[in-house]
Structure 1
């Protein structure tokens, strides 16, 4: 019984900031930050670390379902944790299969095609419109469209990361612009502050992947010239 009580107390532990900040919200976001850093560096371990954070944050955003009647329930934020886990499993396997044992990075960044970009924009807009009534019916926190926007954007960004598209960082920026005010108004201050930091971090990540994409493209373009070099070199007498 003592062990069970200790686990319950640990699960509900808070930091005396504001109305009380859940420790598992802070820890979950720290896992998310570590995952984002691993994603920027294109390391496979970014995916399992992110899953751990998603599991913790899922319990946070479900609010009253875990005994906190005063907490706001954000169905979009909670649902996206489940989505993160599902897409992270896909990305984990994709990066593991794409990387070579001796490779420094798990994936080589590339730009999405024009058609893929149109699909991302259309998916963002249509997904938000479609999910807003559903989240409203479930009782999500207002404004509900913002909750739907962050859910759909997170899905598309995570999928883009799994595919190795440079644009996925820009989708995260769009998510943060809407998600930070929503989280502050709902009282999830640790997550809101982390999202605010993510806004800066994603900008850095975008340029890191952009530079990596240019370097990879330059290396590919240099292959024909390198292959022709021996034919232009005179053999010694």
Structure 2
């Protein structure tokens, strides 16, 4: 059996529960990507893309005939969205790193206008996507699947732009994602989401400190040239 076929079929049995190894590995790639994002490393983007490709096959359980025959179209669709936005983020961070600053991204607060856009986009996107996902036959409550999709889209875009608030959007995603994944039987992803919730708060604090330190250096330079 070749490695790809093994990865596709391998299962982890815990009691009477069956968990796909690619669900575990895909989420570990996602965790590694989040860690790289917190440290502002460009490699966070391609690592995340690998995890997204694996998880896309996991969340279409009925399509790929997995032991858990439940389709979460929002979860599956967001993996494709992640890949698209990650290519953009990868390009943005590489371009920034190759500039004179030599850093992948400089954390900063979004403007009030952008914050309003993010909030309205989260709510409006959820309302629009809910009937679409329901028509496709996504697992109930469908609004939660739509919420996770929109939050993931906005958070990933915010990470690419360097907005420190993107970590808080992930918290909002995790709060809804954990109970949805548990009810749908995706236990490995639920556990990782629970861990992500703590991790994203840590990432938020780390980016705030980087932002303050950077602002302090700029102010010191201005005082020195005054």
Deviation at 1:70, TM superposition (A): 4.2
Q: Aligned pair count? A: 225
For the pair 1:81 / 2:79, whether they are aligned, the reply is yes
RMSD of Structure 2 on Structure 1 (CA): 1.5
* Conserved 8 A contact 1:21-1:190: yes
Q: Using the alignment, how far apart are the partners of 1:202 and 1:7 within structure 2? A: 31
For the pair 1:212 / 2:207, whether they are aligned, the reply is no
Q: Using the alignment, how far apart are the partners of 1:75 and 1:187 within structure 2? A: 15
* Ranges in structure 1 where 5+ consecutive residues have no aligned partner: 229-237
Cα distance change on mapping 1:106 and 1:9 into 2, 3 Å: closer
Q: Using the alignment, how far apart are the partners of 1:107 and 1:55 within structure 2? A: 25
For the pair 1:8 / 2:2, whether they are aligned, the reply is no
Q: Among residues 145, 155, 169, which one is paired with 1:157 in the alignment?
A: 155
For the pair 1:187 / 2:179, whether they are aligned, the reply is no
Question: Which stretch of structure 1 is more off in the superposition, 58-67 or 122-131?
Answer: 58-67
* Ranges in structure 2 where 5+ consecutive residues have no aligned partner: none
Cα distance change on mapping 1:179 and 1:125 into 2, 3 Å: same
Q: Among residues 114, 117, 141, which one is paired with 1:116 in the alignment?
A: 114
Q: Which runs of 4+ in 1 moved over 3 A?
A: 6-10, 100-105
Q: Among residues 160, 168, 175, which one is paired with 1:177 in the alignment?
A: 175
Could you state the TM-score of these two structures normalised by the residue count of structure 1? 0.91
* Conserved 8 A contact 2:174-2:197: yes
Could you state the TM-score of these two structures normalised by the residue count of structure 2? 0.95
Q: Which residue of 2 aligns with 1:125?
A: 123
* Conserved 8 A contact 2:62-2:70: yes
| Rg (Cα) greater in structure | 1
Q: Using the alignment, how far apart are the partners of 2:4 and 2:199 within structure 1? A: 34
Q: Using the alignment, how far apart are the partners of 1:70 and 1:182 within structure 2? A: 14
Question: Which stretch of structure 1 is more off in the superposition, 107-116 or 70-79?
Answer: 70-79
Q: Using the alignment, how far apart are the partners of 1:61 and 1:78 within structure 2? A: 5
Q: Which residue of 2 aligns with 1:71?
A: 69
Q: Using the alignment, how far apart are the partners of 2:199 and 2:102 within structure 1? A: 22
Question: Which stretch of structure 1 is more off in the superposition, 17-26 or 161-170?
Answer: 17-26
Deviations 1:50-78 (A, max 9, x none): 00000000000011111227421000000
Deviation at 1:105, TM superposition (A): 3.5
Q: Using the alignment, how far apart are the partners of 2:152 and 2:84 within structure 1? A: 12
* Conserved 8 A contact 1:124-1:153: yes
* Conserved 8 A contact 1:25-1:190: yes
Q: Which residue of 1 aligns with 2:224?
A: 226
* Conserved 8 A contact 2:68-2:185: no
- For residue 15 of structure 1, give the secondary structure of its aligned residue in structure 2: strand
